[in-house]
Structures are given as C-alpha cells and as structure tokens.
Amino acid sequence: MTVAKRIDGKAKAAEFAASITRETATLLDEHGIRPGLAVVIIGEDPASQVYVRNKKRTAESCGFHSVQHKLAEDVSQTDVLQLIDNLNNDDAIHGILVQLPLPGHLDEQAITQAIEPSKDVDGFHFVNIGKLTAGHTSDAFVPCTPAGCMLMIEDELGNDLSGKSAVVIGRSNIVGKPMAALLLQVNATVTVTHSRTKDLPQVVAAADIIIAAVGRPEMVKADWVKPGAIIIDVGINRVEKTINGETKMGLTGDVDFDDVSTVAGAVTPVPGGVGPMTITMLMANTLRSARLAAGLEG
C-alpha cells in the first residue's frame, strides 16, 4: 500500500519564520525600521481570539512592533473606520489586519476596503486583488493562505508547473480565486470547481494538484485522487472525534487524510499543514510592506 508523504506545514512555517526574524533584525540594524503589525478584533468569537493570539505571538517572536485593538461586539461602523484611518496614517504600522468574521451589523466590505492597499497585508483590498489577477505582484499583497499553499506546492513540484493540471475546490475570494490566479502565474492548467460543478469527483480525479477549500469535512476520498497527486487541504472543520473511547471536538480537513494517503503522492494534514503557513505568510507580507515603505523593494 502506498503511503503519501505528509507535508509538514509546521516545520516549513518555522523555517520560514526564522528567516523572517533574521531579515527583521537586519532591517532594524541597518535602517532603524521595525515592521509594525496592527490586528483589530471585534467581539468575543472564540476561534478569532485563538487566531489573534497566535498572530500576536508570532509577530513578537519575529521581532515586530505588534499592536492589538480589541473592540466591543456592538462597536459602531464609524468607530471602526476611524480606527483604520488612524492606523493608515501611523508610520509605525506597516500591516493592518481586521480579524474576520465581523458582527452582523458591520459592513465587511466597507471595512476591508478602508485599509490602505499598501498596508493590506491580508490581500483583500480590490487594488491588491486586481494586481494579483493581472499578474503584477511586485508591489501587491497576496492573501496569506493561498501564498502559503503555493510555497508548499513549489517545494514538491518546483516553481514552473507547465504541463500540470490543478483543480481548486471552492471559489471564495479568500482562497479559491486567488489560488487559481497564483497557479496560472506558474503555468498550471487550472480548473476552479464549486457546489454547482457536475461530476465533481471525476473532475478532481484528473488533477495533478488538488487544493480543497470548501468547508466540508473529509469530502475528498481516495477514489477522487489521481495516483501520485499533490493535495493541499485548506479546510478547517470542527467535528466530534472519538479518541481512546472518549468523544471530543477535534479539527479535520476537507480531505479524508488516511484514505487519500493510500493514493496521493503528498498531502497536508489538518491541523499542522496550511494553518501555520498562513500566519507566517502574514509576517512575510508585513515585513515586505515595511521594506516597500522604506523604498527597499519594488
């Protein structure tokens, strides 16, 4: 029985974070610049609290100036936009991130688009989306999860995917669409699938590279997978798991890891795959923003 290579996102992220820490120290030493990251969190969503803590801890360990703004669940749109305006005009801040999802009374689009594109380290501003789609990424920010996925794919297959077919399952603005744009830039032949796609398993089974980002636990099975395919599992689903006879809530991906491991060439686990890379790419974008602001890149 074939056992797929387990792509260790945690180890890759740690290695990349170490290089970011070194570059940050050099930037401070040679130019007196410390990358600054401001994270805005609204309300008390438990998952968001965990993500924000992880981002703050990673930013501090990389040597960044790290700022956190906690706002009440019932904060007004005006107050959020005022905070973003203040951060846009703060020279010590190079990256601004508003943790999603937002409480229902706030306009997510108005808030994410209020962030200055040069500080939009999440890559959600329409200016950055447009540059990515057009292939002009020298001074643009790519969304962190797709950027991390690309690094893991390139580790396995190199940075020219000519002749490779890639299927993206999911068409979200955060993962699916930017992922397709990145794959096209490195010459992959890309198919974007979604809930309306006919014969989805058959479409996926033709792919050399599968990116699953749809939010359905263990949907992708071994019979969906071409032998030797590379699988990147972006899904994070909270499900009940029985461990040593005890039922607990646990995390699982959109891919049935054990099942596909009998066929695939390499696959990311959940947890420990894409997640750690996403946070590290946020740090990479913030460092790059600081360098761009200082005229050291671009």
Active site amino acids: 55, 99, 122
Cis peptide before 101 (omega within 30 of 0): yes
Cis ω before 35 (30° cut-off from 0): no
63: left (phi over 0), alpha (psi -120 to 50) or beta: left
Centre a 10 Å sphere on the Cβ of residue 195 and count the other Cβ atoms it contains. 10
Peptide bond into 201 cis (omega under 30): no
Q: What are phi and psi of 48, to 5 degrees?
A: -65, -40
